[in-house]
A and B are shown apart, each in its own frame.
Chain A
Amino acid sequence: MTPEQKDGPLLQIRNLEKRFDVDSGFLESLKFRGGKLRRDTRAVHAVNDISFDVGRGEAVCVVGESGCGKSTVARMVANLLTPSGGSIHYDGQRIDTLRGKALLPIRSKIQMVFQNPYASLNPRMTIGQTLEEPTRYHNPGLGSGEIRDKIAKVMKSVGIDPTWAARYSHELSGGQRQRIAIARALTVDPEFIVADEPISALDVSIQAQVLNLMLEMQEAHDITYLFITHDLSVVEHFGTRVVVLYLGSICEVADTRTLFSAPKHPYTKALLSAVPSLNDDSPSHIRLKGEIPTPIDLPPGCPFQTRCPLANARCRVEKPEPFAQSDGALVACHAVEEGRTDAGMTLQEAV
């Protein structure tokens, strides 16, 4: 399927790359080596050759450890960051190369909700003002009365009384603030919401409120989600498909049910085994030994090799490519491909 096809997936990410230069200035990066002055730039390889799709109405979750590139992917999809390589197509149109005015229609289709409801709302603006700004900007044809009506409607849809429009964000609880952040995303009638850990900073009870709201929005407005989280119980509840990242690369992509019932990549297995469950009081998680390499000095070969119980010589030189399993999962692991999976893992399942 080519990205140009309109009836293809809503979002298509192909060979996406992002590098951040870490050396602060031009002068600092000049090094005298081999009798010559050279410019030596080191880069964080935050996202490396990632490809996946998000279909209409899906809620695709991206999981992985801190620093694995989840937010970087989210920001590139929301067009807040320019990829270093690869492409992003939305509804058949390439969006990562759009600039200036050409971006406007996409900006109203794709909205982003951030992790911290405390930092993402301007404390000097009332809730009404917070919501009015994007509504006006994206609906230049609307009169003041219509804008007020629209804001009231959006506030009601997130369960907040429209009379609260005069309040400031510091008068709200964390859950209420996050609902306002979601309301702000909804003022432009988006089709696609990129949510970067929208509930991580909230209590369980408030997490439930916000997750319910997102489920309701999905049904009422047909919204498609790219949902970033590190909480696997949330993934299991909310996600239709899961993308597991490790150090900027894809380990595994699978339907939620397939991933939880039959994880295949050794990292996915370790991740799932580490989730503390309510019922089972004898912990028996797969303990990963070894250190996590920094994304500046990525080793050649598989990024997981330093902690992988199955790593062998091939893993240290050749980077595994995602390939399809019989149940539809995509897995990037030589051991899985070669069928030498179970022996090593059970050895580690001690304790």
Chain B
Amino acid sequence: MTLLSVRDLTVKFGTRGTPVTALHGISFDVARGERVGVVGESGAGKSITGFALMNLLSRPGYIDSGEILFEGKDVTKMSDREIRRLRGNRMAMIFQDPMVTLNPVLTIGQQMIETLRAHRRLSYDDARQISLVKLKEVYIPSPEARLDQYPHELSGGMRQRIVIAIALLLDPQLIIADEPTTALDVTIQADIMELLLEMCRSNMVGLMLITHDLGVVSQVTERTLVMYAGRIIESGKTRAIINDPQHPYTQGLINALPQQTPPGTRLRQIPGSMPTLSTMPPGCPFNPRCELATDVCRARMPEITQFGEVQVACHEVKRLHAELAELEGAQ
């Protein structure tokens, strides 16, 4: 059974009058031990996807339709109690700001021990012992001393490592990490990413890594979802997407990186910006910024089509592939 299977998930925001749609029927899977990256510009719907999976959407946001099957059970139909048991226990989320997770008035030890004992029948000493082991796993120096420290006494990198240790406390099957290293420096980011990678590999934990950093996605994940305006517009093997992006938006994102043009020359920018939820254009949401856009693109939303190792939602990619196939057939 797939660890996570999301089908036609639609999320809306009910702001005054007609609700706006933040996620338009997205579908994807995460297998056991698989590392999936989620990329896209600000406002694409990456965090909303993470929140929806954890059932953490707060008003005015709500799941309008679709299924979120976690180990075969639909999260959208679970009772609050079932969801609370799932969260932390089987699924855990790591946020950009570690202080979202950490309680500033409790010591690290108190938070870890409390979390453990809320979910498991453990003595205080056993819970402390497990906490120590987890802190060692994330390479916290002198873990015994850290247990008695408060979050504000630790550096940003160390706090984020502790958040990861807490996320791992109950041996979850899926970790959703939303920009876990954006606030950190590159040397510390590299450590944290390596740590997440190691945890997933050795414990067969599934990882959904939300980030805007394509370099990080390239280093850590096996599969990538590219989001644009609340839709997954390209998905597939990370290597395939980075080396040979199909969708004009994915191409734009990769081509805009400084390392893609010789030093000192103009970068290839994507013109315009992403539409807001209330000003979505008809047809393909990328069409106002797309060099390849035709009348078809301006009228109709392209469906997702499989091409080799990737799935792409683009009229022109589909047309080009069809032409190629015809040419090959003719030869």
Contacts and interface: CB of A to CB of B under 8 A. Distances in A.
Interface of A: 65-66, 173-175, 203-209, 211-212, 215, 230-234, 236-238, 256-257, 270-271, 273-281, 283, 285, 287-292, 351
A127 to B, nearest CB: 17
A212 B190 CA distance: 28
B186 A271 contact: yes
Contact of B185 (A66, A203, A256, A291): A66
A256 B184 CA distance: 23
Contacts of B137: none
A205 B252 contact: yes
A100 B216 CA distance: 48
A287 B192 CA distance: 11
B41 A205 contact: yes
Contact of B141 (A206, A270, A276, A291): A291
A234 to B, nearest CB: 5
17 contacts: A65-B187, A66-B185, A175-B273, A204-B253, A205-B41, A205-B253, A207-B267, A211-B258, A230-B185, A275-B186, A276-B193, A276-B215, A278-B215, A278-B242, A283-B190, A287-B190, A291-B155
Interface residues of B, number: 44
Given A173-B273, A212-B266, A277 B190 contact: no
Interface in B229-280: 238-239, 242-243, 252-254, 256-259, 261, 263-264, 266-270, 273
A57 B128 CA distance: 59
A276 B256 contact: no
Contact of B187 (A211, A237, A274, A280): A274
Contacts of A283: 190, 193-194, 197, 219-220
Contacts of A203: 41-42, 212
A175 B141 CA distance: 41
Given A205-B270, A208-B267, A215-B266, A281 B218 contact: yes
Contact of A230 (B156, B186, B266): B186
A205 B186 contact: no
B194 A208 contact: no
B213 interface: yes
Interface of B: 41-42, 141, 155-156, 184-191, 193-194, 197, 212-216, 218-220, 238-239, 242-243, 252-254, 256-259, 261, 263-264, 266-270, 273
Contacts of B258: 208, 211, 231, 233-234, 236-238
Contact of B263 (A230, A237, A278, A291): A237
A175 B185 CA distance: 23
A277 B264 contact: no
Contacts of A280: 219
Nearest to B142: A291
B218 A204 contact: no
Contact of A285 (B41, B185, B190): B190
A203 B273 CA distance: 10
Q: Which 10 A-B pairs have the closest CB atoms?
A: A276-B215, A237-B258, A208-B269, A274-B190, A208-B267, A65-B185, A208-B256, A205-B270, A274-B186, A203-B41
A271 B187 contact: yes
Contacts of A271: 186-187
A174 B42 contact: yes
Given A204-B212, A212-B267, A274-B187, A285 B156 contact: no
B99 to A, nearest CB: 15
Contacts of B156: 66
Contacts of B264: 215, 237-238
Nearest to B186: A274
B194 to A, nearest CB: 6
Nearest to B158: A291
B257 A285 contact: no
B268 A208 contact: yes
A218 B11 CA distance: 45
Given A277-B218, A278-B254, A285 B194 contact: yes
Given A204-B253, A276-B218, A287 B191 contact: yes
A213 to B, nearest CB: 10
B226 to A, nearest CB: 12
A263 to B, nearest CB: 13
Contacts of A287: 190-191, 194
Contacts of A173: 273
A237 B267 CA distance: 9
B273 to A, nearest CB: 5
Most central of A231, A234, A281, A287 by chain B CB within 10 Å: A281
Contacts of B238: 281
Contacts of B190: 273-274, 276, 283, 285, 287
Contacts of A288: 187, 191
Given A230-B186, A281-B218, A283-B194, A292 B155 contact: yes
A177 to B, nearest CB: 11
Most central of B263, B267, B270 by chain A CB within 10 Å: B267
Given A207-B267, A211-B258, A230-B186, 9 more contacts: A236-B263, A237-B263, A238-B264, A274-B186, A276-B219, A277-B259, A281-B218, A287-B191, A288-B191
A288 B194 CA distance: 13
A205 B286 CA distance: 14
Contacts of A236: 258-259, 263
Nearest to A288: B187
B269 A205 contact: yes
A256 B263 contact: yes
Contacts of B212: 203-204
